[in-house]
Amino acid sequence: MSNYPELYMMIDGEKVTGGNRETFNVVNPATGETIGALPLADAADLDRALEVAEKGFKIWRKSSPQDRANVLQGAARLMMERREDLARTATMEQGKPLAEARIEVMMNVGLFNFYAGEVFRLYGRELVRPEGTRSTVRHEPVGPVAAFAPWNFPLGNPGRKLGAPIAAGCSVILKSAEETPASALGVLQCLLDAGLPKEVAQAVFGVPDEVSRHLLGSPIIRKLSFTGSTVVGKHLARLATENMQRTTMELGGHGPVLVFDDVDVERVLNTAVGGKYRNAGQVCVSPTRFIVQENVFAKFRDGFVERAQKIKVGNGLDDDTQMGPMANARRPEAIDRLIANAKGKGAILNTGGERIGNQGFFYAPSVLSEIPLDANIMNEEPFGPVALINPFKNEEDMIAEANRLPYGLAAYAWTEDYKRQQRLGVELEAGMIGINSHMIGGSDSPFGGVKWSGHGSEDGPEGVRACMVTKAVHEG
Ligand code: NAD
């Protein structure tokens, strides 16, 4: 496809490509066509990136807050200017509708501008001590960061992985998903063009397990930041233990949505259906398990199905598309398997449950209901366009179902009862909770989970602090 950008690795400000390096074919998920060949790092590339990151840290840890703010604000401005190109690139390599890709650009703009202010608020504190002596608590950048970003938000994930270390004064080596490299390179280029020293942020690609073992195996790396599945997150956390690297782990979820019988069902559906099928359901905070009080169950399920059937599925580059293809060939296969397993256990498939067309990775918006709790899909993150709707009797049962799984990323609840809203805010085991809303993020607000959904936060003041260490200095 025309106007898909060139692909390379960015090491020490140099576009690295060619040589004897292996390549990875980047595919447009709407057509199945190969649109680019991505060079993959060999061990020498990774060693060079590590050496440069060490230099970059020495430079950037001494930068003033104003230097950091200038770079972050400059990059935000450039992203605004390049918004259409960045969004098109993301849609070509990931599939999502252009409108959603544009929102990702704006999320990065908001986050970089927030961090540009936050760099002036990284205060330490002075302790009360006898005259002539002094004790201070300082917060310092942790060191070079290895950051791994997945393909579901090809612009937003790299924005988070780059923005926080840069605000904190760290250097960073980013390995974004090989399926969506050009978006990540586009975000990095905005930072470099805004004046970020070339040693401070680099991008490599490769065989994920080789790259992560190599980078985390080096004592140069002081922090791991990973977004992806719980199983890979646990593996990387184990690797990080060897060099005692700090970790921010943003892992899987299985978002429960509690719908009580005191709500306006139409109002909930107006929000929930769009939320479910955003990015074809490939969102870690996707609303997934709809836990519906029995009096409104049938109305909710039927309204959901009716709306799901009206969603316009197509190429994300087409203006009227509401849901694009899934991002890669693995996803429709996984969803087919999960739906077949659920049907085998007695679940009802109300709509969808099949691929659309014979090119690309399109899947029909799907709704399962009355699903036995031992079906795989009720326990594994589906990461696809499938809503799971089950009836429950009362608040106690609904909370128990919400907290049943080892995941705890996002949870949602709809009820008009104020006291119940308060209880749910306490009782639901999740890092982020939406009450009568599916909006659970913001540049100023911590994003992260509990239990198997990981630990540490991105975004907000917490995102920068996660890239810093504490030091106490006592002067006698
Ligand atoms: P996967 O689990 O192998 O990969 C997920 C991401 O992790 C990819 O970006 C991949 O490049 C990276 N990765 C995998 N192994 C790695 C390693 N050893 N070192 C460093 N990075 C590694 O498989 P997948 O098919 O891409 O996705 C499967 C599941 O991952 C999904 O069903 C979903 O549950 C989860 N996922 C979660 C998110 C999220 O935002 N939390 C994003 C993408 C995928």
Structure confidence at residue 312 as a pLDDT band (50, 70, 90): very high
Check if 119 has its Cβ closer than 6 Å to any atom of ligand 1.
no
- CA-CA distance, 179 to 365, in Å (whole number)? 23
How confident is the model over 147-176, as a mean pLDDT? 98
Q: What is the pLDDT of residues 314-354, one digit of tens each?
A: 999 999 999 999 999 999 999 999 999 999 999 999 999 99
Check if 285 has its Cβ closer than 6 Å to any atom of ligand 1.
no
- CA-CA distance, 306 to 308, in Å (whole number)? 6
How much is the pLDDT for 246?
Answer: 98
Tell me, in angstroms, the distance from the centre of ligand 1 to residue 326's CA. 14
Q: Which CATH class is domain 255-442?
A: alpha beta
Q: What is the pLDDT of residues 285-305, one digit of tens each?
A: 999 999 999 999 999 999 999
Check if 232 has its Cβ closer than 6 Å to any atom of ligand 1.
yes
HEC per residue, 351-399: ECCCECCCCCCCECCEEEECCCCCCHHHCCCCCCCEEEEEEECCHHHHH
How confident is the model over 172-200, as a mean pLDDT? 98
Q: What is the pLDDT of residues 113-128, one digit of tens each?
A: 999 999 999 999 999 9
Atom of ligand 1 nearest to the CA of 150: 9
How much is the pLDDT for 127?
Answer: 98
Record the tokens describing residue 159, joined without a space. 């924005």
How confident is the model over 451-476, as a mean pLDDT? 97
Nearest C-alpha neighbor of 225 from the set 206, 240, 243 = 240
Nearest C-alpha neighbor of 301 from the set 276, 325, 330, 322 = 276
What end-to-end distance do the CA atoms of the chain give, in Å? Answer: 67
Identify whether 427 is a catalytic site residue: no
How confident is the model over 231-235, as a mean pLDDT? 98
How confident is the model over 207-227, as a mean pLDDT? 98
Nearest-10 crossing angle of helices 98-118, 83-94? 120
Tell me, in angstroms, the distance from the centre of ligand 1 to residue 416's CA. 37
Query: Per-residue pLDDT for 142 more than 90?
Result: yes
Check if 13 has its Cβ closer than 6 Å to any atom of ligand 1.
no
Query: Per-residue pLDDT for 452 more than 80?
Result: yes
Check if 114 has its Cβ closer than 6 Å to any atom of ligand 1.
no
Atom of ligand 1 nearest to the CA of 384: 32
The pick from 96, 232, 432 for probing ligand 1's pocket by mutation, whose C-beta has the most ligand atoms within 8 angstroms, reads 232
Alpha helices in 134-264 (DSSP H): 156-168, 181-193, 208-216, 230-242
How confident is the model over 441-464, as a mean pLDDT? 97
Check if 381 has its Cβ closer than 6 Å to any atom of ligand 1.
yes
Handedness of CA 250, 254, 259, 260 (dihedral sign): negative
Atom of ligand 1 nearest to the CA of 151: 9
How confident is the model over 360-378, as a mean pLDDT? 98
Average pLDDT, the chain: 97
Are 332 and 311 in contact by the 8 Å Cβ rule? The answer is no
How confident is the model over 433-437, as a mean pLDDT? 97
Q: Which of 93, 100, 179, 284 is catalytic?
A: 284
How much is the pLDDT for 2?
Answer: 62
Check if 177 has its Cβ closer than 6 Å to any atom of ligand 1.
yes
How confident is the model over 410-427, as a mean pLDDT? 98
- CA-CA distance, 109 to 107, in Å (whole number)? 5
**Check: complex ipTM more than 0.85:** yes
Q: Is the pTM of this model over 0.95?
A: yes
- CA-CA distance, 408 to 405, in Å (whole number)? 8
Identify whether 284 is a catalytic site residue: yes
Check if 286 has its Cβ closer than 6 Å to any atom of ligand 1.
no
The pick from 153, 229, 330 for probing ligand 1's pocket by mutation, whose C-beta has the most ligand atoms within 8 angstroms, reads 229
Measuring from atom 37 of ligand 1, which residue has the nearest CA? 228
What are the boundaries of each domain within the chain?
A: 9-251+453-475, 255-442
Query: Per-residue pLDDT for 235 more than 70?
Result: yes
Check if 391 has its Cβ closer than 6 Å to any atom of ligand 1.
no
DSSP assigned state of 216: H
Are 215 and 370 in contact by the 8 Å Cβ rule? The answer is no
Measuring from atom 8 of ligand 1, which residue has the nearest CA? 150
In three-state secondary structure terms, 270 is: helix
How confident is the model over 145-161, as a mean pLDDT? 98
How much is the pLDDT for 1?
Answer: 45
Architecture per CATH, 9-251+453-475: 3-Layer(aba) Sandwich (3.40)
Measuring from atom 22 of ligand 1, which residue has the nearest CA? 208
- CA-CA distance, 68 to 341, in Å (whole number)? 51
Q: In what order do the strands lie in the sheet with 454-455?
A: 14-16, 9-11, 201-203, 172-176, 145-149, 223-227, 246-250, 454-455
